[in-house]
Amino acid sequence: MKKEKKLFFKRFAPLDPTEGDSTPSSVDKLTFMVKREVKQHLDAGKKFLSQGHIKEAVQQYQKAVETDPGCALCHFHLAYACHEGGDLEYARERYEKAVELEPTCCLFLEHLARLHFESQDYREAARFFHRASLVGQIQPLSLGLWGRALFEQGLFEQSIEAFEQLLEREQSPQIYAGANYWLAIANLKLRRIAAARDIAIQLLSDKNADHKILCDLGEHFIEAKCLSLARNIFERLAISKEEVLLVRLRLEDIRSIERQIDEMLPKLFDGDEERMLHQIHALKEFGNDRISKAMLSFIDSPSAPVRESVIRYQTAFGYDVPKSIVPLLKDPIGYVLEAAYDYFDKRNDGGFLDVIVEGLKDPIPSIRKIAARYVGRFGEIEKLPLLEMSLTDPANAECREELRKAVSTIKERFQKKNDALYQTQIALMPEKNEKSFAVDWRFWVVVFFQLTAITYFVYFLLKRL
């Protein structure tokens, strides 16, 4: 397991390999019935393992397995020691045996998943991480590796969900930086440039941000042609002593392109609609702040192709200009309207839900699809009836898949919130019940003595009569 965090964060976060990890010592918190002779071997193996004597630890755990082949804990410890020693194939067999004997042990499933991840079998890793999550709360590191396994399979949407869960559970500087790095890259893969841009700006605001993470992000943003953001990142890195040559080369490349932009930009304001569209087409290859501002000045242009081109540019490079785009959600031209909806679809911002939900009624199917996706991502349970009504409408046959996904996503989100609330209430119940029980016990004791006293008094009176 010593390589796992390096595998998760690559070279970006020099973490303590044992920090926050779930090692065999975590099993001490689980309840297993083991024979006395077995416990002696397990304790001896644990001692050898803590001293770094893996061969001797393996021998002790093998004796434990021979003593009680039906003990899942013995197979797990043997698997862990072999895993540490580099014998991945035999470790996998022992982990699988432990899981076979105890199929609902989250820890066993997690470690089997981690081994598959280390072997670069990302599909199996993701499958066992999912199984582990169904039977218990998995460790933060496992959430990160699960996200990576999904990312490596190209399942970027699910990968984002895993990294977001990781950030909810763990906020240490290294986890924060590494998880946000992968979130940014996954969003870039999905062409959600706005979300990736927001994450990069957050990392830039951190005075202690890891320069290697920033450098790699800068390279990705250059690849995405977001030049102004990449320049901001590399200018921040220019003060660093490490990799300074690469930083200078990248800055020079960006500045060279920006000089070309300075020559092209004035031509945007000189000419008729045809020339303007020609200049927009040439400039759309570069994500530059000045180009964005210049194009926004034409957002109210009487030319529908110009309006569409302006929106497409802001979408392509993730510029945060929603207030300028909102009026175009009522544009009379269909392709301009679709471009405006697509802008909000590519953003990681649910603040415009009440406006976008109106798109479910739009006569254009592509707009209804975008609206369904948006409502599914950001809508709460009160939006469910509207989606279900749209789903039953025969006119929405083309949008049925997006509507079903939206309904399913909202239901799952609502169920998770209910489950979390239920678990919180259950966690608070024992204390309340103990107190209630104590009160009830005292109450009934008092009632008993009162009834006894009344009975004796009645009996005494009857006897006197």
* Helix extents (H) in 284-321: 289-296, 304-316
* Helix extents (H) in 121-210: 122-135, 140-152, 156-169, 173-189, 193-205
Most confident listed range (227-241, 420-434, 449-463): 227-241
The pLDDT tens digits of the residues spanning 164-203 come to 999 988 878 888 889 999 999 999 999 999 999 999 999 9
pLDDT (0 to 100) of residue 273: 86
pLDDT at 424 over 60: no
pLDDT (0 to 100) of residue 306: 95
Residues 6+ apart with CB under 8 A from 319: 194, 292, 313
Which whole number is the average pLDDT over 246-262? Answer: 92
Contact indicator for 112, 102 with CB cutoff of 8 Å = no
Among residues 373, 382, 316, 327, the alpha carbon closest in space to that of 350 is found at: 373
The pLDDT tens digits of the residues spanning 68-100 come to 999 999 999 999 999 999 999 999 999 999 999
Burial bucket for residue 254 (CB in 10 Å: 0-12, 13-18, 19+): buried
pLDDT at 377 over 80: yes
**Which two tokens mark 160?**
């984002």
Contact indicator for 256, 229 with CB cutoff of 8 Å = no
Which whole number is the average pLDDT over 35-54? Answer: 89
pLDDT (0 to 100) of residue 238: 84
Chain-centroid distance of CA 302 in Å reads 42
More confident of the two residues 296 and 174: 296
| pTM of this prediction exceeds 0.75 | yes
Most confident listed range (16-25, 146-155, 385-394, 440-449): 146-155
